[in-house]
């Protein structure tokens, strides 16, 4: 009897038609069974948001042996919840978010729908990996990522991350990488975040933009340092956001 | 010369008309100058999501000495970003999210727009506190919270939390509290998350619901334990989501 291929649940925040997701599908389809549940339109900046005021729905857009693709009306988190709770008939070996068009390193992890995918996978007890390329362009070149995607996918399944943890993997915009570095999240700051545009009918509207400043540029153990020096940055990430170091101080105050 | 009152930036995810926010305004207005920028409609489950594909806008709905209220087209995070970057002419002493109608304890912190408010405040370098009452109802009774809101507000300003940290404060649904406990986030699991409804025109739609299971019910240092035992739960929370404990293991693997 042929060994069963691993089953991967894929989602993203750029939407079901995004090139990053489809490059991931193309790369991994020969190696694994794939179940894809991705938003029907771009959801950049969705973070861990979910849909509660309205219902969600999905439709199957492709269904063949070893590959099912669904388009969902909800957020990236909704996609993972719905796939696991209602749609998939076999438990995945790994949940993957991406490949995101744009960096999810440093504090961007909090705004990232790609990270929303893997947070949700981690909460449900599955190993989960987010892939992001530091290139926002629609036609970003994902080919340098191929061997890393495969290697990290197999290693994440083999290692089996502890529940409530996941990996945030970011690739620098380079034709070739210096290797891989396991990192911590960099502290950085977003400033000058809006462009103020006068509305033709009166009033103003504001487009999000911004400058990101690395607050610890010399710290060689951070994800931004790794990316700036040409490395693939793997940041192990956890669901527990408790500031454990503050507990004793606050017990004195409250 | 009269001492300047502290300035508080308030936002929420239930929207600018929500009773929880308006109870907070009513309680704190005699003690502080208030600048409110809140979503124009409910945004429950918004997490740290932000608006990037479209522009955002706001309008002033009330403006009097010591109290300005704005209604914003964006998410809770957008509200804080826009207020700080474009609208406020004085730096706040504290950023407050809430009072949320419903718990943001345990893993719910990740889905919470109220926590999105204070994460954003913390990233920008302001002390930030989220208040949530474990009662989803529109007409929830916030009066038992009053002395705690005032006390925690003044203490948070006096202590001055470190940058990239904030407080997640949850109140149990009780007429009177046993006191305050400084806690860590509880590991819990959401299961049975959807109700599947047949659509009258064919297909199905899914409403989010779910059962939350406390995975460590005996742990007396957790926020769910505190709430279950009638205490106000104060969970210090941080922006750094690195799983520091995994770094060495992963360096071996990658």
Query: Could you report the per-residue pLDDT of A125-177, keeping only the tens digit for each?
Result: 999 999 999 999 999 999 999 999 999 999 999 999 999 999 999 999 999 99
Preceding omega of A99 cis (within 30 degrees of 0)? yes
In the three-class reduction of DSSP (H, G, I as helix; E, B as strand; rest coil), residue B245 is classed as: helix
CA distance B8 to chain A (A): 20
Residue with tokens 């949940």: A95
How high is the pLDDT of residue B2?
56
Closest CB to A241 among B44, B57, B237: B237
Q: In terms of Cα–Cα distance, which of A143, A115, A139 is closest to A129?
A: A115
Q: Which of A208, A244, A251 to mutate to test the interface with B (most CBs of B within 10 A)?
A: A208
CB contacts < 8 A (A, B): 225
Taking only residues 104 to 143 of chain B, the set having a beta carbon closer than 8 angstroms to any beta carbon of chain A reads: 107, 109-111, 113, 116, 119, 123-125
pLDDT tens digits for B105-120? 999 999 999 999 999 9
In the three-class reduction of DSSP (H, G, I as helix; E, B as strand; rest coil), residue B33 is classed as: strand
Contact indicator for A15, A40 with CB cutoff of 8 Å: yes
Q: Do A236 and B253 touch (CB under 8 A)?
A: no
Chain B contact present for A51, CB below 8 A: yes
Q: Do B197 and A75 touch (CB under 8 A)?
A: no
Q: Which residues of A touch B163 (CB under 8 A)?
A: 187
How high is the pLDDT of residue A187?
98
- Which band of pLDDT confidence, cut at 50, 70 and 90, is reported for residue A19? very high
- Say what the pTM is: 0.96
Say if residue A186's pLDDT is above 80: yes
Contact indicator for A88, A9 with CB cutoff of 8 Å: yes
Chain B contact present for A216, CB below 8 A: no
Q: What is the mean pLDDT of each run of 10 residues along chain B (254 residues)?
A: 83 97 98 98 96 95 97 98 97 97 98 98 97 95 98 95 97 97 98 94 93 97 98 98 97 94
Residue B12, both tokens = 């929420």
Chain B contact present for A83, CB below 8 A: no
CA distance B1 to chain A (A): 30
In the three-class reduction of DSSP (H, G, I as helix; E, B as strand; rest coil), residue B252 is classed as: helix
Residue B58, both tokens = 């706001």
Q: Which of A42, A44, A49, A127 to mutate to test the interface with B (most CBs of B within 10 A)?
A: A49
Say if residue A117's pLDDT is above 70: yes
In this structure, which topology does domain A7-185+217-253 adopt according to CATH? Stationary-phase Survival Protein Sure Homolog; Chain: A, (3.40.1210)
Sign of the torsion angle spanned by Cα atoms A243, A245, A247, A250: negative
Q: Do A86 and B205 touch (CB under 8 A)?
A: no
Chain A contact present for B50, CB below 8 A: yes
Chain A contact present for B209, CB below 8 A: no
Preceding omega of B99 cis (within 30 degrees of 0)? yes
Which alpha helices (H) appear in B38-164, and where do they start and end?
A: 76-82, 113-123, 146-159
Distance between CA atoms of B80 and B114, rounded to whole angstroms?
A: 11
How high is the pLDDT of residue B4?
81
Identify the H or E element spanning A252.
helix A247-253
Q: Do A196 and B124 touch (CB under 8 A)?
A: no
Closest CB to B194 among A86, A123, A241: A86
How high is the pLDDT of residue A1?
53
Contact indicator for A230, A175 with CB cutoff of 8 Å: no
How high is the pLDDT of residue A2?
56
Contact indicator for A121, A161 with CB cutoff of 8 Å: no
Q: Tell me the backbone φ, ψ of residue A32, rounded to 5 degrees.
A: -155, 160
CA distance A106 to chain B (A): 9
Beta strands (DSSP E) in chain B are: 7-11, 33-39, 58-64, 67-72, 94-101, 128-133, 165-171, 180-182, 188-191, 194-198, 204-208, 211-214, 232-238
Q: Do B184 and A237 touch (CB under 8 A)?
A: no
pLDDT tens digits for B46-76? 999 999 989 999 999 999 999 999 999 999 9
| Domain residue extents for chain A | 7-185+217-253
């Amino acid at each position: 009897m042929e060994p069963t291929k691993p089953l991967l649940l894929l989602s993203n925040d750029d939407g079901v038609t995004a090139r990053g997701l489809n490059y991931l599908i193309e790369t991994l389809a020969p190696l694994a069974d794939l179940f894809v549940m991705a938003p029907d339109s771009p959801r950049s900046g969705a973070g861990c948001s979910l849909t509660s005021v309205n219902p969600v729905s999905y439709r199957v857009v492709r269904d063949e042996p070893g590959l099912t693709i669904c388009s969902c009306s909800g957020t990236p988190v909704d996609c993972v919840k719905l796939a696991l709770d209602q749609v998939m008939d076999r438990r995945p070996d790994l949940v993957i978010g991406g490949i995101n068009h744009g960096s999810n390193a440093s504090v961007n992890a909090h705004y990232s729908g790609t990270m929303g995918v893997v947070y949700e996978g981690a909460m449900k007890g599955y190993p989960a990996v987010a892939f992001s390329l530091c290139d926002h362009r629609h036609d970003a070149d994902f080919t340098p990522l191929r061997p890393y995607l495969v290697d990290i996918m197999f290693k994440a399944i083999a290692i089996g991350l502890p529940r409530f943890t996941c990996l945030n993997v970011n690739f620098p915009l380079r034709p070739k990488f210096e290797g891989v570095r396991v990192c911590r999240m960099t502290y950085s700051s977003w400033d000058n975040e809006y462009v103020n545009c006068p509305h033709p009918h009166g009033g103003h509207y504001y487009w999000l933009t911004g400058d990101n400043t690395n607050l610890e540029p010399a710290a060689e153990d951070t994800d931004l340092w790794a990316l700036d020096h040409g490395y693939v940055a793997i940041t192990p990430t956890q669901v527990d956001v408790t500031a454990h170091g503050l507990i004793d101080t606050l017990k004195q105050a409250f």
